[in-house]
A = this chain, B = another copy of it.
Amino acid sequence: MTAQRRGLGTNQEAVRRHNLGTVLRHVHGAGQISRAQLTALMGLNRSTIADLVLELASLGVVEQTVPTGVRSGAGRPSAGVRLAEVGPYVVAVDLGVDRAVVARVALGGDVIERATAPIPSGGGEAWQVGSTVAGLIRRVVEGAPAAAPLLGVGISVPGLVRRSDGLVRLAPNLEWRDVSFGSIVLAALGVDVPVQLANDADLGALAEHRRGAGVGIDDLIYISGNVGVGAGVITGGVRLEGAGGYAGEVGHLPFAPEGRLCHCGNVGCWETEVGAHAIAAAIGCPESDVVTLGDVLDEYAGPQRALGATGKALGYGLASIVNAFNPRLVVLGGYLSSLYALVRHEVDDALAERALPAPHESVTLSLPGLGSDSVLLGAAEIALEPLFADPVAALGTALVDVGARLAG
């Protein structure tokens, strides 16, 4: 359930809000679901579910269908509930270190349209990137039906993002510090829509939890390998954010006190062993290809030995993470998924060696269920969040006829 401010009482509007949001969350998650399933899942009365679905349908978010062909036992077949044909959508932005990916994502998580553009290496000025992103947003929104409402924009940033206001505190690979990127994009767009920013690893975790390898798993960690290394943590089914929103910065956990100098100023951070630069050096890959290390690794045919130590370092670091957070699943994203495919054995062994037995016995390592789209879809998910918290309010303030507004 949505975490409302604790200590508060529940009034009847809150009940309705929560129930409408929960129905919508289920439809969003399953794509197609019957009213009978909803009654079972939510533990409410048939009549209540019927009423909730009716209200969502009148809001134009869902549609009721004739009973679907999939039958399951005797009895009258249940009416289906699915997302509306022309329903609300969001814009998801995945800011990488060398390119920006922007997508129009429908409620339900399908990418309808997508556009990509390179980002000057070293990030460049934030306003330039913002203008590039705004152009991509215009492009993906163009084809949207005029009647479809835009709920908001979700932006993934490879760096530390302050939770309270979305300020990018530090994005080392973009060379940004204290950049209000949300405002910059909005200014370049010339419209006012809700914008949510978050760390890339956090969003990868969210997406894998909702729609990827971690569906039904309430404690998982997504490790993003994206030049730097970060972790996004889902615990008890909710994002672990910490006081400022910076939780999960595992790239600078101490690893080898006598090791290499890290850009953070310390010596021997985990990132100096499993970061993209370290791996590139290990396999003799030129510096210029570091940003596309995943592709390089996918085609790597050199000696396994070159990566053995790296795999071991990855496993040892994961052991710390497993001990600290006790996840049921660890998803290796970015170039780490390519790396894991090459040295799975070394990683698994190192993890088993260093992790405590109790947390180790229930953990699984896995590749992303969403491929390289985890982060992008996570950005869509946070943009959808207000809709699940309060469907009526979110749809009330959503923007319609977006194509025309942005073109003008």
Contacts and interface: CB of A to CB of B under 8 A. Distances in A.
Interface string A139-152: 00000000000000
This chain: copies in complex: 2
Contacts of A237: 6
A48 B9 contact: yes
Contacts of A320: 253-254, 320
A325 B236 contact: no
Interface in A333-353: 353
A321 B19 CA distance: 37
A1 B12 contact: no
Given A43-B9, A249-B323, A160 B22 contact: no
A4 B316 CA distance: 35
Contacts of A170: 356-358
A339 to B, nearest CB: 20
A253 B23 CA distance: 42
Interface residues of A, number: 71
Given A238-B236, A257-B256, A250 B324 contact: yes
Interface in A252-275: 252-258, 264, 266
Contacts of A69: none
A241 B326 contact: yes
A26 interface: yes
Nearest to A231: B324
A42 to B, nearest CB: 4
A326 B230 CA distance: 13
A327 B242 contact: yes
- Sorted nearest first, the 5 A-B pairs with minimum C-beta distance are A242-B326, A9-B42, A243-B328, A247-B326, A9-B44
5 contacts: A9-B19, A244-B326, A248-B324, A249-B323, A249-B326
Given A1-B6, A10-B10, 16 more contacts: A1-B1, A7-B26, A7-B42, A9-B22, A160-B356, A170-B356, A235-B235, A235-B247, A241-B326, A242-B326, A247-B326, A247-B359, A250-B324, A253-B253, A264-B356, A266-B353
Interface of A: 1, 3-4, 6-12, 15, 18-19, 22-23, 25-26, 41-44, 48, 160, 162, 169-170, 218-219, 231, 235-238, 240-250, 252-258, 264, 266, 316, 319-321, 323-328, 353-354, 356-359, 362-363
